[in-house]
Structure 1
Amino acid sequence: MKKITRFFWFCSGAHIDTLRKYPIEHNKYVGIGATIFFTALFAALSGGYAMYFVFSGNAFAVGFAIIFGLIWGTAIFNMDRYIVSSINKVGTTNQQILQASPRILLAIVIGIVISRPLELKIFDKEIRTKLKTAYLKGQRTKIDSLQKTYQLKYTPELVKNTDLKKEKDSLERDINRSRYELNQEVFGDKTNQTSGITGYGTYAKQKAQILKEKEDRLKTVTDNLGQMDQYLLKRRDFEGLSSTRLFNERQLDSLANVAGFADRNWALGQLSFNEKGKRDLDTYLAISFIGYLFIIFECLPVFVKLMSPRGPYDVAIAKISEANSYFAERDKDRDIAVTNQTFDHSLDTDVERRKRIISGQSDFDFERHSYD
């Protein structure tokens, strides 16, 4: 327990030797340090999870996620530790709040950054469903766009192909009717279209000739229609219509598994809206409260430091800081004085040397005379 307590004191940024002297402050700084530590832990998990999706599909994705998570968690830990330790209890409450306001804003930003990847993991199932729906809708829109472009680009060919199909259907009906009338003529059935004479006579030959002409035309139309269908089929392949299909369930699962951070973040934002585009209040509140929870959790060490009364540890730290400032100023003045004295001594030495040069006395003679 002593090691854990000392570790949390270190996390809080407290001066441990000074804090030991005031047992009444121990629990407060254990709580602050624990909050900073677990905030950094959540940040490491959040950063690692986000990096895992950045390198999703890579063999080293897990390694990159662990390394980045540790770096990100350490950075957040140092930042939080600095934010809390830099808040002193000197001055009025308003002055302390004003001093802490930039740090609170920074803590809010950190809380938002930490919460987003964790929200993605919490709503993973709903995000996958939303992504599948979006991918399927996007594929359907793509097919519709390709179909529209194809129809506009090949309008004359499509119109001609439709006319050929209509003509073929009409010829097939006429041929069936003409063949029936020819049979009636040959067998001597009396109708408005037949003579009623049995045998292959003049009227039967005429009807057979008309039937042959229609059959020849049908063959020509059928050949033209086949050529047009082949041409349009090749054009569909060229435009990508033949190869573009709606995704099946397995393909949608695969796409959702490899979705990047941006797609998942977009899907999370879309969860707050229903199919009609109106805000879904329940889902919106659930997502928002999770974000608010991490923001409050990140700001909690700062709030604890601000709300806690000024204790003996704060008084001791203020006195130590004031004493250090005093000794620093004194040492600075002393260094300036020593520097000035050294400078004056150097000036005196230069003056003596110039006098010796003028009198013709060498430095060696001067040093020997001084030694004697």
Structure 2
Amino acid sequence: MHKVTRFFWFCSGAHIATLKKYPIEHNKYVGIGATIFFTALFAALSGGYAMYFVFAGNAMAVIFAILFGLLWGTAIFNMDRYIVSSINKEGTTNQQIMQASPRILLAIMIGVVISRPLELKIFDKEIRQKLKVAYTKGQNRRLDTLELAYKQKYAMELGKNNDLKKEKDSLEKDINRSRFQLNQEVFGDKTNQTSGITGYGTYAKQKQAVLDEKQARLKTVTDDLGQMDDYLAARKDYEGLTNMRQYTNKQLDSLANVAGFADRNWALGQITYNDNGTRDLDTYLAVSFIGYLFILFECLPVFVKLMSPKGPYDVALAKVSEANMHFAERDKERDMAATDQLFDHNLSTDVERKKKLISGQSDYDLERYRYD
């Protein structure tokens, strides 16, 4: 427990040597340090999960996710540790709030960033279903677009094909009717269309000729229709309509599995709406409160530091800081004094040399002075 306590003190950014002197402050900074640590842990999990989807399908996806998760968690840990440790408790409440405002805004943004990937995992089942629906609708729209473009491009050929089909249907009906009338004529059935004379006579031959003519025309129309169908089928292949099919359930599952971060993030926003476009309040509140929870969790170390009263550790830390500044100023003054003393010494030496020159020193000393 001693090692765990020291670790959480380190996480809180406290000055451990000073904090040891005040046992009443120990638990407070253990709590602050633990909050910072677990916030960084959630950030590492969130960042690793997000990176896993970026490299989904890659054999190195897990390794990349672990490395990025550790890097992201360490960055958040260092940032939170700095934010909490830099809040000065010596000022008034308003001063502390003003000092912490930029840090709170930064914490909110960090909370939003680390909460989104975890929300994607929590609502994974609903996101998959929404993606399947979206992919099906998208496929239908593409099919409709291709179909419309195909019909506009080959409107003349399609119109001719429809005319041939109508003519073929009409000929088939006429041929069936003419064949029935021919049978009535041959067997001597008296009607408005037959003579009533049994046998294959003149009227029967006339009806046979009409029937043969219609059958010949039907053959021509059928051949033309077959050629037109083959042509239109080839055009469908060329335009890509033949290969476009509705996704099967297995294909939809595969697409949902390999969906990227952007698609899943979009689907997470869409699950808060019903099919008719109205807001699903229950789902919306569930998604929102999970995000708010992580934002609060990220801001919690700052709030704890702001809400905690000024304790003996804060007073002692302020005194240590003031003493360090005093020592720094003293050392600075000593360095400046030493510099001035050295300058004065050099200046006095220079004056002595000038005096010797004036009093008639040798040319050698003069040259040496010039060289110096």
- Answer yes or no: same fold by TM over 0.5: yes
Q: Give the corresponding residue for 1:78.
A: 78
> Residue 241 of structure 1: SS of its match in structure 2?
coil
Distance 2:357 2:51 in 1: 75
Asked if 1:334 is matched to 2:334, the reply is yes
Q: Give the corresponding residue for 2:116.
A: 116
Q: Give the corresponding residue for 1:25.
A: 25
Asked if 1:256 is matched to 2:261, the reply is no
CA offsets, 1:328-355, max 9 Å, x none? 1222222222223333434455566677
What are the residue-to-residue correspondences of 1:32-51 with 2, within 5 Å?
A: 32-51=32-51
**Which deviates more, 191-200 or 299-308?**
191-200
Identity of aligned residues (%): 77
Q: Give the corresponding residue for 1:92.
A: 92
| TM-score w.r.t. length of structure 1 | 0.94
Asked if 1:62 is matched to 2:68, the reply is no
- Residues 280/175 of structure 1: CA separation in 2 closer, same or farther (3 Å cut): same
Where do 5+ consecutive residues of structure 2 fail to align?
none
> Residue 245 of structure 2: SS of its match in structure 1?
coil
- For 1:72, the aligned partner's letter is W
Q: Give the corresponding residue for 1:321.
A: 321
> Residue 193 of structure 2: SS of its match in structure 1?
coil
2:357·2:366 contact (CA, 8 Å) conserved in 1? no
**Which deviates more, 53-62 or 206-215?**
206-215
Distance 2:214 2:348 in 1: 131
Q: Give the corresponding residue for 2:3.
A: 3
Distance 1:126 1:94 in 2: 45
2:18·2:317 contact (CA, 8 Å) conserved in 1? yes
Q: Give the corresponding residue for 1:168.
A: 168
Displacement, 1:236? 1.1
Displacement, 1:107? 0.8
**Which deviates more, 86-95 or 343-352?**
343-352
- For 2:326, the aligned partner's letter is Y
Distance 2:351 2:301 in 1: 64
Distance 1:314 1:273 in 2: 50
Displacement, 1:194? 1.6
What are the residue-to-residue correspondences of 1:1-372 with 2, within 5 Å?
A: 1-349=1-349, 359-362=361-364
Where do 5+ consecutive residues of structure 1 fail to align?
368-372
- For 1:334, the aligned partner's letter is R
Displacement, 1:186? 1.9
Displacement, 1:361? 4.2
Distance 2:157 2:248 in 1: 32
CA offsets, 1:174-197, max 9 Å, x none? 111111112222222222112222
CA offsets, 1:133-154, max 9 Å, x none? 1111111111111111111111
- For 1:263, the aligned partner's letter is D
Distance 1:69 1:136 in 2: 34
- For 1:362, the aligned partner's letter is Y
- Residues 186/69 of structure 1: CA separation in 2 closer, same or farther (3 Å cut): same
Distance 2:160 2:368 in 1: 121
Distance 1:85 1:363 in 2: 63
Distance 2:59 2:356 in 1: 81
Distance 1:181 1:347 in 2: 141
Displacement, 1:83? 0.2
1:46·1:69 contact (CA, 8 Å) conserved in 2? yes
Distance 1:327 1:365 in 2: 46
Distance 2:56 2:351 in 1: 77
Q: How large is the Cα RMSD of the aligned pairs?
A: 1.9
1:356·1:362 contact (CA, 8 Å) conserved in 2? no
> Residue 245 of structure 1: SS of its match in structure 2?
coil
- For 2:130, the aligned partner's letter is K
- For 1:202, the aligned partner's letter is T
Q: Give the corresponding residue for 1:370.
A: none
- Residues 179/345 of structure 1: CA separation in 2 closer, same or farther (3 Å cut): same
> Residue 251 of structure 1: SS of its match in structure 2?
helix
- For 1:254, the aligned partner's letter is S
Displacement, 1:366? 7.8
Distance 1:343 1:120 in 2: 69
Query: How many aligned residue pairs are there?
Result: 367
**Which deviates more, 342-351 or 60-69?**
342-351
Distance 1:242 1:363 in 2: 106
Distance 1:305 1:34 in 2: 13
